[in-house]
Amino acid sequence: MQKEELLHLHMLFVHVKKYYELTTSEEVPTDRYDTLHISPVHIHKNKRSHKEAILILGQEIVDHIKQQQHKPPVIGFTDMVTPEIAVEN
């Protein structure tokens, strides 16, 4: 994977974390990620550092979500097809 792709993936994981926090009003603890002192805008850091950050951030997001499984989901999905829409003319 190219460094530019890692930077994009790193930014995507940061956005996933922020989106989850916004929609659930829960803070995702990222203690291990924070100790790395790296963010997607640190383009001077090497590929290995960004790869490590991506893996750690992803694991912390997943671990937090797994801990929250006993709670009902905040975002629910409904059937988007209604009988009126499915009827042929």
What's the distance, CA 79 to chain centroid?
Answer: 25
Higher pLDDT, 65 or 83: 65
Q: Domains of the chain by range and CATH? A: 3-67 (1.20.1270.110)
Residues, the chain: 89
Q: How many CA atoms lie within 13 A of 17 on its CB side?
A: 22
For 14-54, write each residue's pLDDT tens digit.
Answer: 999 999 999 999 999 999 999 999 999 999 999 999 999 99
- The encoded tokens of residue 19 equal 């989106």
Nearest C-alpha neighbor of 42 from the set 64, 60, 33: 33
